Structure 1
Amino acid sequence: MSNHHSSAPRASSPAQSSLNKLLIRKLMPLLVIVYVISFLDRTNIALAKHSMGIDLGMSAAAYGLGAGLFFLTYAAFEIPSNLVMHKVGARFWITRIMITWGLLSIGMAFVRGETSFYVMRLLLGAAEAGLFPGVMLYLTYWFGREERARATGYFLLGVCIANIVGGPLGGALLELDGALGFHGWQWLFVIEGLPAVLLAWVVWKKLPDRPTKAPWLARDEAEALERRLAAEQDSHAPGRGAHSFGACLRDRQVWLAIFVYFCHQLTIYTVIFFLPGIIGASGKFSPFTIGLLSATPWLAAAAGAATLPRFASNSARSRRILIGGLVVMASGLLLAAYATPAIGLLGVCLSASMFFVVQSIIFTFPSSRLSGSALAGGLGLVNSCGLLGGFVGPTVMGMIEQSTGRAMNGLILLAAALLVAALVSVRLRHGAEERARTVASPAHKTV
């Protein structure tokens, strides 16, 4: 059976390859920098945990709850944020997101206890809501399905860079403790919050809403690209209702992707928020050294994100890579839970090598099945529901650490969740693949 049933017009391979390289070169560096800064501001409380807890008298459970509360408001505002961006354009909306989250990140320096900590984390989540699914939607305006996983992989390098740079940078800022009467964790929030506000101006000036708004694309080339992508979305959608938001709520494949993404996010945010504390528990390292060691898994994550997503060129390959990546993540966490600290850090690195390989592929499944407002809302739905894992993971880990005195015990539970997600992933299908299976079934054959 041939997979080339789509009626979408396609550019010649050399011309399309050249265009994709131009799009990646023009769009991805700025988007990656945006994501680097967003992740620094979202996760810098991991490094601030120890000294902030002492200064404010916060317990591990209170910290875990505060770390997770970000994701409640983030999830609640994802879908409306993405629908607004679909209407007003990426340039305006991403600029707005950056200004509000940057100012609130700076405001984190002035929390005075558990209540203000909780409130600021809730506000920060609401401010940043829509950035990731907004970029996932934005990439559908520029890249076809076969190139989207690769572009997403490049975008997710921002998380790796943020954690590679953020560890040493945050450790160095913590050592400013006492300068001008500020605690080190206050310097951390102020200095890492300012770049978001400043970069918002660059986004406003440089980020085109869509191909026909890009000054560096010829008009006919931009119009042809938009026509090709629109035709591809129409031809890959398995049903006529794929343009309405209700379609994503009725699509079983969307809910399968949500479950897999939830288990993925359980893992990634638990590692982000608790790895510095696990390393620092030995009492042998300075804040700067803890930051350096915390950065090592993200080198492995960067290598995976830069090399493997490009091989997810069709539905079957995407599924195999996704399942394999989830199993590798689970194996790495089990190794970290049972091995010595040095080997355990290697286990976390093994797990991290698949973090963004898995994430870049998950979003290709719902995005291949929906279009229009359904696509905008569907990507928001997947991200918002999946990101509840970012609330559940740190909250449960905080409780486990407080009750058992050992944060590593929670890694076994995470590994089990990842193995269940790998089993569920067997059932995931891209829209074009499911349409081909439906057309080939005996019930749809005509005599």
Structure 2
Amino acid sequence: MTELSTAARTDEQRREFSKRAFRRIVPLLCLVYVISFLDRTNIGFAKDRLQADLGISAAAYGLGAGLFFLTYALLEVPSNLVLRKVGARWWIARIMITWGLLSAATAFVRGEVSFYVLRLLLGAAEAGLFPGVILYFTYWFTRAERAKANGYFLLGASIANIVGSPLAGALLSIDGAGGLHGWQWLFLTEGAPAVVLAFVILRVLPDSPAKASWVSAEEARDLQARLDAEAGPEPARHPVRQVLRDPQIVLAIVVYFCHQVAIYAVAYFLPGIIGRAGSLSPFQTGLLAMLPWLASGIGALVLPRLATTAGRARLLIAIALLVMAGGFLVGLLAGPVLGLLGLCGSGFVFWCVNSTIFTFPSSRLTGAALAGGLAFVNSCGILGGFAGPYLMGLAENSTGDPASGLWIVVVLLVLAAALAMALRHGAARKADSARLESDLRK
């Protein structure tokens, strides 16, 4: 047998292993993110009812929606470092149990203060899930495969809104059943699945390829050798406190922040934006709110796999951000039908940035710095989840129009698209850093 045929056979075996890993872990973690995103954003449908039943204003609602991200961001780095030490299986299960119970407890808020407290606690409970899974994928997939894995994982957010939008509308419609408001049924019903799924995670999710019963020792060694080779002979040893010294990571944070402002501005205010079109029932609003997320699910399946090189990933991010900005402009300026189509166009590219942006910092960090660095990037970027709803709430309070804050979002997206073109992978990290620093000085 020639060396060439042996190499070809090895490549085929590696592709088969990668497909098996996808089948075994990605759908399960996608389901985790479905429930996570459902519990994180279901207050978008409760917004009007919270105002009517508890007197929570649009500005207070926007602040409460955003407060989730403050504790989430604050605790992401320590959470990811704990995950690296104790293993993904136990830590993800712990996250799910605590967030499920706290999400259900939102049914018993009595005013603005209790609403704020529970949102802060929910953010603390869920901290580390997203960067933890992104870190976990670095144990299983090479750099060329990671954007695809990230994209399938992020599909969970789309599925959450596709399923959750009509479900939320139906639950709100049972107002008064059992002496509870419809929004109380919403939180109680959607909080329970996280606790149940946590026990499934404990049973079936392996901490690493070396600990998976369905991975041979030879396969685990081969994968680790390929991952080590990608890190290079002299891997970067950035302590977490030095992550901000890398201009490329700072750039990734800024782009991701702008993107998250847009995502969560839409996630928490989309039902209200659709509701301004006319008199719609909660269920009808839920069905229409599902459409942009349906488009985002299709995009999550189709687009991230195109990001196989640094150049393609960079271009995909920039185009996606511009398409989002254009779709929001259509939503602002056109009538109800064309406006909804514009939001669907934005939705189609929602997850291109999330699934691709983390390939840049992960190419520049290793070991504990990788765990902490990914969490730090997500922590800074996810603060856009605080800024987006808060700005939208202030704008609605000032203008009476739930869509008025999208003007700010459009500007941020265009800025992020321009910055994204300077992103570089870590293969030439020193040259890239010097070039970016020189460009910023000009």
The TM-score range, normalised by the shorter chain, is: over 0.9
Partner of 1:140: 138
TM-score by length of 1: 0.93
Is the partner of 2:405 in helix, strand or coil?
A: helix
2:268 is matched with which residue: 268, 273, 279?
273
Q: How many pairs align?
A: 428
1:76 is matched with which residue: 74, 91, 100?
74
The CA distance in 2 between the partners of 1:416 and 1:16, in whole Å, is: 44
Is the partner of 2:207 in helix, strand or coil?
A: coil
User: In structure 2, do the counterparts of structure 1 residues 17 and 297 end up closer, same or farther at CA, with 3 Å as the change threshold?
Assistant: same
Is the partner of 1:260 in helix, strand or coil?
A: helix
Of all paired residues, the percent bearing the same amino acid is: 59
The CA distance in 2 between the partners of 1:389 and 1:287, in whole Å, is: 28
- Indicate whether 1:356 and 2:354 are aligned: no
The CA distance in 1 between the partners of 2:229 and 2:9, in whole Å, is: 12
- Indicate whether 1:180 and 2:178 are aligned: yes
The CA distance in 1 between the partners of 2:8 and 2:370, in whole Å, is: 21
Deviations 1:284-329 (A, max 9, x none): 2111111110010011101111011111111111111111111111
- Counterpart of 1:200 in structure 2: which amino acid? A
Query: Displacement, 1:230?
Result: 2.5
Is the 8 Å Cα contact of residues 315 and 433 (structure 1) preserved in structure 2?
Answer: no
- Indicate whether 1:418 and 2:413 are aligned: yes
1:212 is matched with which residue: 210, 213, 228?
210
Is the 8 Å Cα contact of residues 21 and 140 (structure 2) preserved in structure 1?
Answer: yes
Partner of 2:12: 14
Is the 8 Å Cα contact of residues 300 and 349 (structure 1) preserved in structure 2?
Answer: yes
Deviations 1:127-182 (A, max 9, x none): 00000000000000000000000000000000000000000111111111111101
The CA distance in 2 between the partners of 1:438 and 1:68, in whole Å, is: 33
Structure 1 window deviating more from structure 2 (282-291 vs 395-404): it is 282-291
The CA distance in 2 between the partners of 1:126 and 1:11, in whole Å, is: 47
Query: Displacement, 1:437?
Result: 6.9
Query: Displacement, 1:246?
Result: 3.6
Q: Which runs of 5+ in 1 are unaligned?
A: 1-8, 440-447
Deviations 1:328-357 (A, max 9, x none): 111111111111111111111111111101
Give the 5 Å matches for 1:32-111. Answer: 32-111=30-109
The CA distance in 2 between the partners of 1:12 and 1:284, in whole Å, is: 61
- Counterpart of 1:337 in structure 2: which amino acid? L
- Indicate whether 1:263 and 2:258 are aligned: yes
Give the 5 Å matches for 1:197-276. Answer: 197-235=195-233, 240-276=235-271
Partner of 2:280: 285
Query: Displacement, 1:98?
Result: 0.3
The CA distance in 2 between the partners of 1:115 and 1:228, in whole Å, is: 51
Partner of 1:369: 364
Partner of 1:406: 401
The CA distance in 2 between the partners of 1:10 and 1:428, in whole Å, is: 33
Structure 1 segments of 4+ aligned residues over 4 angstroms from their partners: 435-439
The CA distance in 1 between the partners of 2:52 and 2:310, in whole Å, is: 50
Is the partner of 2:404 in helix, strand or coil?
A: helix
Deviations 1:46-72 (A, max 9, x none): 011111211101111111110000000
CA RMSD, 1 decimal:
1.7
The CA distance in 2 between the partners of 1:10 and 1:366, in whole Å, is: 31
Is the partner of 1:375 in helix, strand or coil?
A: helix
Is the 8 Å Cα contact of residues 171 and 289 (structure 1) preserved in structure 2?
Answer: yes
TM-score by length of 2: 0.94
Partner of 1:120: 118
